[in-house]
């Protein structure tokens, strides 16, 4: 029974993910696209929970959906207007080329997965309850991956400065 529920939740979340993804890419109104992305992020959060990444699920919702997307919605509201139709514009070859490229990538990945389905994708490792907990991740950040942690903070600093510069640049025309 538990297995069935997990599978059902998984399918729902996965379906929501993909549907909202398609929506983001194909809707004309940018506001709706942004909302669809929020839905996408929420579905992903559910998927993260199913793989014992609790901290990350929480961070996803808090940071990504809560902060980044809000910023996005602010800008969309400020700019207003309609986005273009999905398949419009550009040389005709462009559309076919885009589809072909994306399809190629997808096919390749499927092939690789198919090749590895049996042996490499065997049972997952055993983990205890602290897997994916904030403590465990925090500990890693401050010991093994300290460098990544610091560099990320610098990147954020640079982004902040850049944002300020972009925002307060005087018009020079």
Q: Does 90 bind other proteins (CB under 8 A)?
A: yes
Q: What is the 3-state secondary structure (H, E, C) of 110-134?
A: HHHHHHHCCCCCCCCCCCCCCCCCH
Q: Does 73 bind other proteins (CB under 8 A)?
A: no
Helix intervals (H) in 27-172: 30-50, 54-59, 69-79, 92-116, 134-142, 146-168
Residues 108 to 137 in contact with other proteins, rule: CB under 8 A: 108-113, 117, 121, 123-127, 131-132, 136-137
DSSP 85: -
Binding other proteins (rule: CB under 8 A), the pick from 12, 70, 77, 163 is: 163
Residue from 43, 42, 50 nearest 69 by CA: 42
Q: Does 70 bind other proteins (CB under 8 A)?
A: no
Longest CA pairwise span in the chain (Å): 67
Residues in the chain, total: 173
Binding other proteins (rule: CB under 8 A), the pick from 12, 70, 77, 101 is: 101
Q: How far is the CB of 93 from other proteins (least distance, A)?
A: 9
Q: How far is the CB of 128 from other proteins (least distance, A)?
A: 9
Binding other proteins (rule: CB under 8 A), the pick from 12, 105, 119, 129 is: 105
Q: How far is the CB of 70 from other proteins (least distance, A)?
A: 11
């Amino acid at each position: 029974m538990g297995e069935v529920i997990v599978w059902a939740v998984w399918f729902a979340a996965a379906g929501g993910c993909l549907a909202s993804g398609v929506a983001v890419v194909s809707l004309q109104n940018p506001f709706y696209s942004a909302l669809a992305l929020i839905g996408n992020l929420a579905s992903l959060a559910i998927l993260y929970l199913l793989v014992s990444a609790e901290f990350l699920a929480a961070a996803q919702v808090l940071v990504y959906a809560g902060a980044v997307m809000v910023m996005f919605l602010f800008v969309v509201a400020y700019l207003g207007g309609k986005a273009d139709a999905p398949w419009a514009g550009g040389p005709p070859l462009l559309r076919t080329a885009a589809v072909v490229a994306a399809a190629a990538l997808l096919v390749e990945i499927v092939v690789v997965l198919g090749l590895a389905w049996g042996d490499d994708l065997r049972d997952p490792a055993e983990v205890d309850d602290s897997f994916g907990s904030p403590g465990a991740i925090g500990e890693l950040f401050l010991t093994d991956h300290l460098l990544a942690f610091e560099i990320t903070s610098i990147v954020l600093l640079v982004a902040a400065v850049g944002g300020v510069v972009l925002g307060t640049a005087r018009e020079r025309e």
